[in-house]
């Protein structure tokens, strides 16, 4: 197997782990800026560890640019850790520039397999910033560090000498071992680590040259030396090393150090502590290894394939249950009771496998918000809540852009400049909250700010000015309806176009994306108090709960997340306003959608039951069940971003779990149809897309 193949095997793992540590690095920097002294130290150490880990992984994969940038970033953070520099917004800015460049390097590696991106400007900026330190202070620190290093080396040498002496006195042999790796070895650190691990299994490593830390960081060429104290013979030592690949040569000689009787006593107590520490570490490593074996990484594509298979099982389950009932096959029915439970459990577990915490997305946003408000001279406290809430990975990926746009709007349009906030009696620092909440059958994600809020009169004025509404239409809009104008294509509240917003396309895209997932968008706002925009999202889009309805003897499915309530409406209570059907519900106008007209369906006269046995039972005036003569209708009230509407159907049949199949090319542009599902009897029925249904 070639070295290229070896590296490629680990590339996906490297990318996933690098992205995770980059998120930790960025979040720690954001926390560092706002933290008190105690929490600042914790945040700084967390950021340093993340950068150090990325550096180590980059070095092992031979991504030199990423390794170099992480190393330079560590240098600056070292000064913060030592106390020679204080944390300032300018330092956080610079470290976040490094974070952004590391993200670019990661994207380049993911797309091209290389980190060949120019990092010279960032490195120069880091070095220039650090060079501002006074020369004499630097020399003083270097002198102090050198003295400490010398003293540390003296102590280390003495301990090594005493350890060898102790081992000899106790009758153990010491071997001086020189290990030479093959010159073509691509993983020197990994091979050396395995060699040291195997030697530690049969004895105690007294010393290595270079140090074990340098060996793990690959700071050596192709040779290293080990002094090993052991009860094993030379053949056992050779066997331990022979198990490691890429070792070209091993030279072993028995140690000949002189013994000083008084040496061992000095460190006897210390040796006990070291031994205990090693035992604890050995147990911890064993536990970590055991825990690691309990989990594996699975690609999203493979999970999607399994979800599709489970979907087919759900369809087949429904069919078999129906066959058992129709043909009264007792054995099949009793067996299916067990199979149904098993498939339901399988479906739940597979669905859970695709669920990940929203934290994976939320962690990207603090840096985005900070960059925006600092660029505009604003002050903002950014709060996130509910990061532990889980969503289907597919849904989570699709909401990134909508949430980004909502956050940009809050900073750009919502939060005022500090001076303006003070004039209004507010604190200089605005507040933006990003909150995820789990509710029955769905999750809501909201972006709320305490800024200027939406002015309904100005929204109406802009809609008229842009030709989106006539003056008469605008004057009749309620405040809630005026808020929804921002979803219209070409509408914007910005006074001028900026890099952040103002082109009149953003909120429309937010609405479209959320509704494509089967969700909806809600807006609440008060002048000078702020705005809250909520995205209501399904937990998953593959298998959903739906309400089955009968329309002119045909069955349709309505996603249950959209259903608000089901009511009955008498024919005399339906009115026509501007060619649209409406009714009055609890003092408010409810627009109605006559589904049989939308889909061109009409009842079969003379069938005696009107297709549903629920109101068209033969006594509707002429006994033929014709829907034109029905006195009462069933109305399913559904929620959508523009507000509630009522879907007029013949009957609400039952709630059922359905598998969502996307529409093929022939039905992609059909208004009101968002997909299809297959029922237990094998029938294919449409799933309604309530967001695109038009009033008729």
Active site residues: 52, 74, 409
Answer for the pair 141, 83: CB distance below 8 angstroms, yes or no: no
- Cis, bond preceding 210 (omega within 30 deg of 0): yes
Q: Quick one: which H or E segment has residue 368?
A: helix 365-375
Answer for the pair 369, 502: CB distance below 8 angstroms, yes or no: no
| Residue with tokens 């589904």, as numbered in its chain | 595
| Residue with tokens 């604003």, as numbered in its chain | 378
Distance CA(556)–CA(611), nearest Å, equals 14
Distance CA(109)–CA(102), nearest Å, equals 11
Distance CA(259)–CA(4), nearest Å, equals 50
Answer for the pair 163, 202: CB distance below 8 angstroms, yes or no: no
Answer for the pair 206, 163: CB distance below 8 angstroms, yes or no: yes
Query: Coil, strand, or helix at residue 352?
Result: helix
Give first-to-last CA distance, the chain, whole Å: 67
Residue 277 half-sphere exposure toward CB, CA atoms < 13 A: 6
Helix residue ranges, H only, 468-625 = 471-475, 479-483, 506-516, 595-598
Q: Give the pair of three-digit tokens for residue 8.
A: 């490629």
**What residues form DSSP beta bridges with 446?**
435, 534
DSSP conformational letter for 88: -
Contacts of 327 (CB under 8 A, 6+ apart): none
DSSP conformational letter for 397: H
Answer for the pair 634, 615: CB distance below 8 angstroms, yes or no: yes
Distance CA(192)–CA(95), nearest Å, equals 33
Beta strands of 346-503 (E only): which ranges?
355-357, 380-385, 390-392, 430-439, 442-449
Query: Coil, strand, or helix at residue 544?
Result: strand
Number of H helices, E strands in the chain: 23, 22
Answer for the pair 542, 517: CB distance below 8 angstroms, yes or no: no
Distance CA(398)–CA(522), nearest Å, equals 18
In degrees rounded to 5, what are phi and psi of residue 160? -65, -40
CA angle 491, 496, 499 (to 5 degrees): 95
Q: Is 226 left (phi over 0), alpha (psi -120 to 50) or beta?
A: beta
């Amino acid at each position: 197997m070639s070295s290229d193949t070896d590296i490629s095997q680990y590339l996906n793992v490297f990318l996933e782990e690098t992205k995770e540590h980059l998120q930790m690095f960025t979040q720690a920097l954001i926390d560092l800026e706002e933290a008190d002294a105690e929490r600042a130290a914790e945040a700084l150490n967390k950021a340093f560890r993340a950068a150090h880990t990325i550096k180590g992984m980059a070095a092992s994969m031979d991504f030199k640019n990423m390794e170099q940038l992480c190393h330079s970033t560590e240098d600056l953070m070292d000064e913060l850790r030592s106390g020679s520099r204080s944390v300032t917004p300018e330092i956080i800015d610079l470290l976040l520039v490094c974070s952004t460049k590391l993200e670019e390097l990661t994207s380049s590696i993911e797309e091209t397999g290389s980190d060949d991106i120019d990092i010279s400007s960032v490195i120069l900026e880091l070095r220039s910033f650090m060079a501002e330190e006074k020369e004499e202070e630097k020399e003083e620190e270097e002198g102090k560090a050198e003295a400490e290093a010398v003293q540390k080396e003296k102590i280390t040498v003495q301990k090594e000498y005493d350890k060898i002496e102790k081992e000899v006195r106790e009758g153990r042999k010491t071997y001086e071992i020189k290990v030479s790796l093959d010159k073509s070895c691509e993983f020197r650190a990994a091979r050396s680590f395995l060699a040291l691990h195997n030697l530690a299994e049969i004895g105690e490593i007294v010393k290595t040259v270079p140090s074990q830390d340098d060996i793990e960081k690959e700071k050596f060429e192709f040779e290293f030396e080990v002094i090993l104290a052991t009860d094993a013979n030379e053949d056992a030592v050779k066997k331990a090393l022979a198990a490691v690949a890429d070792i070209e040569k091993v030279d072993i000689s028995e140690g000949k150090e002189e013994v000083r009787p008084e040496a061992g006593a000095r460190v006897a107590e210390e040796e006990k502590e070291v031994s205990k520490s090693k035992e604890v570490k050995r147990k911890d490593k064993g536990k970590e290894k055991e825990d690691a074996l309990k989990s594996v990484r699975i690609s999203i594509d493979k999970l999607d394939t399994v979800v599709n298979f489970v979907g087919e099982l759900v369809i087949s389950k429904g069919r078999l249950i129906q066959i058992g009932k129709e043909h009264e096959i007792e054995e099949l029915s009793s067996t299916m009771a067990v199979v149904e439970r098993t498939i339901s459990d399988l479906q739940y577990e597979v669905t859970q496998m695709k669920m990940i915490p929203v934290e994976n997305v939320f962690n990207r946003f603090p840096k985005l918000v900070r960059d925006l408000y600092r660029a505009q001279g604003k002050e903002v406290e950014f709060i996130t809540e509910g990061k532990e809430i889980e969503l289907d990975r597919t849904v989570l990926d699709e909401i990134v852009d909508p949430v980004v746009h909502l956050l940009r709007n809050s900073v750009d349009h919502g939060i005022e400049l500090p001076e303006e906030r003070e004039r209004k009696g507010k604190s200089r620092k605005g507040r933006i909250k990003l909150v995820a909440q789990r509710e029955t059958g769905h999750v809501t994600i909201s972006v709320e700010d305490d800024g200027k809020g939406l002015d309904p009169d100005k929204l109406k004025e802009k809609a008229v000015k842009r030709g989106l509404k006539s003056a008469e239409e605008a004057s009749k809009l309620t405040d809630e309806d005026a808020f929804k104008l921002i979803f219209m294509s070409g509408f914007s509240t910005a006074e001028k176009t900026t890099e952040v917003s103002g082109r009149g396309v953003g909120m429309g895209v937010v609405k479209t994306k959320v509704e494509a997932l089967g969700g909806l968008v809600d807006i609440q706002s008060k002048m000078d108090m702020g705005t809250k925009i909520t995205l209501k999202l399904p937990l998953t889009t593959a298998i959903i709960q739906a309400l089955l309805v009968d329309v002119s003897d045909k069955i349709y499915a309505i996603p249950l997340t959209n259903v608000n309530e089901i009511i009955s409406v008498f024919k005399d209570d339906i009115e026509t306003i501007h060619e649209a059907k409406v009714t009055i519900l609890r003092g408010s106008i409810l627009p109605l959608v006559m589904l049989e007209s939308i889909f061109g369906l009409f009842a079969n006269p003379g069938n005696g039951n009107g297709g549903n046995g629920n109101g068209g039972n033969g006594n509707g005036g002429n006994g033929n069940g014709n829907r034109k003569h029905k006195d009462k209708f069933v109305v399913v009230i559904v929620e959508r971003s523009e507000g509630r509407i009522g879907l007029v159907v013949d009957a609400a049949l039952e709630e059922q779990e359905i598998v969502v199949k996307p529409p093929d090319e022939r039905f992609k542009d059909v208004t009101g149809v968002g997909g299809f599902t297959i029922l237990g009897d094998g029938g294919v029925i449409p799933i309604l897309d309530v967001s695109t249904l038009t009033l008729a």
